[in-house]
Amino acid sequence: MSELSHTVTASGRDIYLIPVRSFVNLVTNLFVIDDGDYPILVDCGSGTYFANDDLIDGFAALKDKFGVSLALRDIRLILLTHGHIDHYGGLPFIREHNPDVPAAIHVLDQRVVSNHEERVIVAASRLRAFLARAGVSEDDRASLMQVYLFGKSYYRSQPVQLLLDEAEPIAGIRFFHVPGHCPGLVCMQLDDVLLTADHILSKTTPHQAPEHITNNMGLGHYFDSLEKIGRIPDIRLGLGSHEEPMTDIYARIRAIRAMHYERLERILALCATPKSIAAISRELFGTVKSYHVLLALEEVGAHVEYLYDRGVLVAANDAEIARDANAVISYVAA
């Protein structure tokens, strides 16, 4: 697990990392960029009571460990890396302490924060359709949808005041839009330090879901976005929103890409005989439980979609699909 820590960028800017427990087994790294009179907070944690407690304790620990006196009410701007609940879910809590603090996010994730209730309903209907065509049984679909909706039910929409734009740095912070893991994901560059958000992590290969559930996600976008970050020169340190700091993001990009190519190869080999996404997922990930079943299905869905879009996989049961538009799709190597 990452620790409360301090980094100084090439031009002397201070970045503090505050880890908070977002959910069981998930720690999110928040960052405070402190230039004296304009403290900026990057991400908010999940908004669960333990994430909020960790946030308060983390600010108190900044004083004990680094002599920095900052409270939530001192924050002048909140930058959100992307629209996943472990990053924006704590926004209502922070506004209890700092009601007028403006929040900024990329336009493609804005609605997740500001039109949350409507967006969950529409996203859930697209997920339900994906699960049905992936070959997940009706009972399993019902329990997976419950798991999906549960983690999103406690958040209430919050206004967003600013949109993050590549052409418009804020306080000297440059933004790079990197869709894939999430539609509006941005990495943030301060001199030789890059906040990589969930785009590049030190150990885990960031989760992928198919674009036909959510536009601007999917493996094709993700590969393009890895390429884009790989072209930024002279990044000395990558700070991910989970896990540990990375001293060589370029090597990490190569490793993540290799892992996906290997997974694509394995799926293609499995599809020597026709298989549904659910069947591929069982072979690839074995027996996993609750939320991990959903993550595994989405991950396989993203890879199958990538291969299908490129004509490497085809639907084996096209005659059945012609008769029934909701048929489970069986994929086979072309």
Nearer to Zn ion, 20 or 278 (CB): 20
For Zn ion, which residue of 109, 191, 198, 305 counts as binding (CB under 5 A)?
198
Which residue from 15, 67, 62, 64 is spatially nearest to 40, judged by alpha carbons? Answer: 15
Q: Is 275 in the site for Zn ion (CB under 5 A)?
A: no
* Alpha helix stretches (DSSP H) within the chain: 49-66, 85-88, 91-97, 107-114, 116-134, 138-150, 219-230, 249-270, 277-285, 291-309, 318-323
Nearer to Zn ion, 86 or 211 (CB): 86
Nearer to Zn ion, 164 or 279 (CB): 164
How many residues touch Zn ion under the rule CB under 5 A: the total is: 3
- By CB under 5 A, the residues from 57 to 96 that bind Zn ion are 84, 86
Q: Is 299 in the site for Zn ion (CB under 5 A)?
A: no
Nearer to Zn ion, 168 or 224 (CB): 224
Nearer to Zn ion, 84 or 263 (CB): 84
Nearest distance from residue 271's CB to Zn ion, in Å?
28
Q: Are 160 and 110 in contact (CB under 8 A)?
A: yes
84: left (phi over 0), alpha (psi -120 to 50) or beta: beta
> What are the phi and psi torsion angles at 87 (to 5°)?
-115, -35
Nearest distance from residue 248's CB to Zn ion, in Å?
21
Q: Is 106 in the site for Zn ion (CB under 5 A)?
A: no
Nearest distance from residue 115's CB to Zn ion, in Å?
19
Q: Is 109 in the site for Zn ion (CB under 5 A)?
A: no
Q: Is 54 in the site for Zn ion (CB under 5 A)?
A: no
Beta carbons within 8 Å of 149's beta carbon, 6+ residues apart: 120, 124
Count the helix, strand and coil residues of the chain and give each as a percent rounded to the nearest 5: 40, 20, 40
- Please report, as ranges, the residues that interact with Zn ion according to CB under 5 A: 84, 86, 198
